[in-house]
Structure 1
């Protein structure tokens, strides 16, 4: 499966690479199913990369903590979105680093866009993230599914069994 070592991801972002831009379908799904609470809300964007989703969530009314374990991703996000207020960029590996910097007040929305397949201990991480949700909050995973992914790329996709496990808790 793709990059799993922090140094490889750092090089990925240092080389100017990223991922596909946030799409209109993703924006529409978030607007419909995870709008910011009246008066604003708090969001956590896990594996934020260069920050496209974090900036979008800010524009929708969330104060955002955007985390990535690649220092070069955070540096690019800070640089490319220097004019955006209300996003806190944090270098943090959600699996191994101390989450002390995350909000102790919890989150109304937690997003994982194109990152879940790269998390090794998904059950532990998802349980920990679920514990950071405020009452009524949502955890949104945006990732390919096996049925819509070519055979040679299935390592980045979730199959039906994994989807059911995520829905169960």
Structure 2
């Protein structure tokens, strides 16, 4: 699958999806990053918005960003009832981030997308700079060792996972349903 906006837009407009948000993922988020009063979250590469809607249900006000128009169209339709979610067309790696909340975020998530970001270290540093005090950056990604060979391009190996934690004071890892869940701060 390509990395171009049009490729991803067609993927979503064609009705294709990615892995649904699992109960174990939800439990980890609920336990480790509960919404503080007036909590703000940013979901990066939000796809069809399932995680953004879930975070809103936990009490976060959510900015959900994706660079694929097809994804955002579906997200807005499939989660029209989600209150407190703002859908943004934004390429987190290349666009100006001026549309993001200037007061920062208590939680920033990237789910199932970090493998597609070319300069991961730069993107994670840029996002971490937008965290409020005691905020958490959550990266959820398939683990290469648990992913079939033909789909390894969507997963990270152990060295790549370790590299994501470089420069963070807080770095916790949980494994669930063949996914690594990294809590960084």
For the aligned pair, the TM-score class normalised by the smaller chain equals over 0.9
CA distance in 2, matches of 1:166, 1:86: 30
TM alignment of 1:68-83, pairs within 5 A: 68-83=66-81
CA distance in 1, matches of 2:153, 2:81: 36
Give 3-state SS (helix, strand or coil) of 1:100's partner: coil
TM alignment of 1:1-169, pairs within 5 A: 2-37=1-36, 39-169=37-167
- 1:42-67 per-position Cα deviation (integer Å, ceiling 9, x unaligned): 00000101100000000001000000
TM-score (norm 2): 0.87
Q: Normalized per residue, which structure has more strand?
A: 2
- Verify the 8 A CA contact 1:3 1:118 in the aligned structure 2: no
CA distance in 1, matches of 2:81, 2:161: 37
- Verify the 8 A CA contact 2:52 2:64 in the aligned structure 1: yes
TM-score (norm 1): 0.95
- The higher-RCO structure (CA 8 Å, 6+ apart) is 1
CA distance in 2, matches of 1:51, 1:120: 22
Q: Normalized per residue, which structure has more helix?
A: 1
- 1:54-107 per-position Cα deviation (integer Å, ceiling 9, x unaligned): 000000010000000001111111112222210000000101111110001001
In the TM superposition, residue 3 of structure 1 has moved relative to its aligned partner by: 2.6
Give 3-state SS (helix, strand or coil) of 2:73's partner: helix
- Verify the 8 A CA contact 1:49 1:77 in the aligned structure 2: yes
Gaps of 5+ in 2: 168-185
Could you say what the CA RMSD is over the residues aligned between the two structures, in angstroms? 1.0
Q: Which runs of 4+ in 1 moved over 4 A?
A: none
- 1:11-59 per-position Cα deviation (integer Å, ceiling 9, x unaligned): 111111121211101101111111111x230000001011000000000
- Verify the 8 A CA contact 2:120 2:164 in the aligned structure 1: no
Give 3-state SS (helix, strand or coil) of 1:50's partner: coil
Gaps of 5+ in 1: none
